Amino acid sequence: GECNLGVVGAYNRAVVRAAQDGSRWVVLADDDLIFPPGWWGVARGLMQALPHAGVLSWKSTHHPPEVCGLVEPATRLAGYCYVFRVEVWKELSGFDERFHHYRGDEDFALRATLAGYPSYRVHWPLVEHEEHAAVRANPELDAEGWRAKDNHAWQEKWGKSGEAAEADALRRYGLMGAV
């Protein structure tokens, strides 16, 4: 029968395939994104400028940036537009599949940062994102149920809010503030 692996399970299978193909970096992008002109050039430039980064995650037009600057250290990152090195994914043993749809991306960025691979929120160029379009179009996906389960899994694993976990990780590595 068919099994819903969730977003996090799909992420892991995509990265396995990319690693088998010899990729060093992976771009995970939701199907409801529109990339602006020049996005790939900026992404490539950041990958070269930040070779030890854990994750790069883009801000969207749906949630425009609150701070100035091109990037800021962060772990509360949304996986709708994620860029990371396969090597980091392997070291972290992939995305934690206890998370189905929500919080798995945030967990991955937090673990990367705690492992010494800082993660960053990128403020330019913004990607267009129709947030949760697939979930709205398919109510059988039970977004609220998965959100509740994933929030519970987060609390069991980390024992603190995402905000507190991010602040602790960024302080630990002296990464507070925009770059």
pLDDT of residue 89: 96
Q: What is the mean pLDDT of residues 65-73?
A: 71
DSSP string, the chain: -----HHHHHHHHHHHHHHHTT-SEEEEE-TTEEPPTTHHHHHHHHHHH-TT-SEEEEEESSS--SS-SSEEE-S---TTEEEEEHHHHHHTTSS-TT-SSSSHHHHHHHHHHHTT---EEEEEEEEEE-TTHHHHH-GGG-HHHHHHHHHHHHHHHHSS-HHHHHHHHHHHTT--S--
In percent, how much of the chain has pLDDT > 90? 41
Q: What is the mean pLDDT of residues 123-140?
A: 70
Instruction: Specify the pTM.
Output: 0.86
Residue 179 clears pLDDT 70, i.e. is over it: no
pLDDT tens, residue by residue, 31-66: 888 888 888 998 999 999 998 999 999 877 666 666
